[in-house]
Structure formats: structure tokens, C-alpha cells
Copies of this chain bind each other. A is one copy, B any other.
Amino acid sequence: MNKGTALIIGVGDGLSASLARKLSDEGYDLILAAREPHKISELAAELSASSHSCDASIPAQVDRLFEAVTGPLRVMIYNPSARVRGPLTDLNPEDVHKAIDVTAFGAFLTGQQAARRMQDQEFVNGKRGTILFTGASAGVKGFPQSASFAMGKFAQRGLAQSMSRELHPKGIHVAWINIDGGIRNQSRSERTDPPENPDSMLDPDSIAETYLHLINQGRTAWSEEIAVRPWVERF
């Protein structure tokens, strides 16, 4: 059964591919967007998805991306983030500004466009649509030598909270997912988890199960925020 369109922004790493395959299996038409479209052409072909080049932190490019979204948009997932590491006093302000733009302003631009589409759609299974933001523990706790990531992820989480309080009563489900740990890269042949400490990195398919659960939650029991982390992760 066709479930409408799912738009995944920031495709390239293991998580996005897992999300795309799972949503395709569930019956969604996929639209994939990335800054570097060659990174998603193979996945798009595999899933018969359309692929788009888009820097989500630039309003005109986001406008153009959403013009390509036809039919009811049921799911939007925002993955991009950027950061510069190092002592606060050494950071290049331009890099910091760009990092905030990618992590937070892009989340706003795409979240706003998705909300515009979704707010006039009919309800299906109690909701008009679902908007998910991929966060990190940097959005809950500001770590040293990581000011730009703290700013971007905190801002993104504040956006998700504001949107969920505003849009839930309109039937649009918004949630922020804290991916607390490193994601295992399935594309490499070698295991990234150390043998003495198996399953110490997040399996993208397991993360995707939680995204799918959020998408399928009944509207009397919506979650707005959730963290996922490996069993051996310290937190």
C-alpha cells in the first residue's frame, strides 16, 4: 500500500540509507536530498527514489527542493549537521556560523516547508505527517572544545520543542532523536566494534526501528524526544 512521500534530507551515511530502505519497505515513495548528489545516486536507483542536490541551509535551495515534492508529504527526516572542533579561542567565526546554519537553520527551513505542506493534508491514521530531527547528546549537554556543535544541536532541539508544542495539536508529529554514540558503518567490510566490546556502536538499522516507531505512534501517545545509545555507552 502506498503511504505517500517520505523526504530524507542529508543522505550519505549509514543511518540515512537504513532509514530510506525501511521507509521504502513500509510503502513510502522516497525523495532523497543531499549536498553532494553523487553520494545518493546508487541508493536512489536501488529504491526507485528521486534524488536532489540541496544545501539545506540556503533558503532558495530549500524552496526548490520542496517544489519537487508532489503528492502528500507524510514523513520528513532532517539529518545534516556540521561542526568545528578545537579550543574556543581558536575557532574561525565563519566556520562556526556555517556549522550553526547547517545543523539548526537548515532544520528550520526544511521543517517550516514540511509543516506548510502537511498542515493542509488530510489525516491518515490520526496524523497529518511526521517531522523528525536527528540530534546528538551535544543538544542536551554542551561539551568543551565543541562550542559550534553545542550551539547547533541545542538550537535544533529548541526548534523541535517549539514545533512540537505548536504543531502537535494540528496533527503534525515532531520529534528530536538524540543519537548518543558513534554509528556503525555498514558499508565497510571490517567490523568497527572492537572484538572485546561488541555492539559498542549504534547499528543504523536499530536506530531506524525507533524512527519508524515514532512515525507509527498513535496520536494519543506521541513522543517528542528520545535518546538511543549502545548498551555499553557511558552517559
Contacts and interface: CB of A to CB of B under 8 A. Distances in A.
A221 B228 contact: yes
A122 B173 CA distance: 38
A97 interface: yes
Contact of A142 (B59, B160, B169, B230): B160
Interface in A95-146: 96-97, 100-101, 104-105, 108-109, 111-112, 115-116, 119, 126-127, 138-139, 141-146
Copies of this chain held together in the complex: 4
A36 interface: no
A159 B138 CA distance: 10
A220 interface: yes
A48 interface: no
Contacts of A159: 142, 147, 150-151, 154
Contacts of A171: 231
Nearest to A63: B93
Interface residues of A, number: 85
A100 B235 CA distance: 24
Interface in A221-235: 221-235
A216 B142 CA distance: 24
A68 interface: no
A196 to B, nearest CB: 13
B201 A210 contact: no
Given A89-B116, A147-B163, A209-B218, 10 more contacts: A97-B101, A108-B151, A138-B158, A142-B159, A145-B162, A150-B155, A150-B161, A155-B155, A169-B231, A221-B229
Interface of A: 59, 87-89, 91, 93-94, 96-97, 100-101, 104-105, 108-109, 111-112, 115-116, 119, 126-127, 138-139, 141-147, 150-169, 171, 173, 184, 199-203, 205-207, 209-210, 213, 216-235
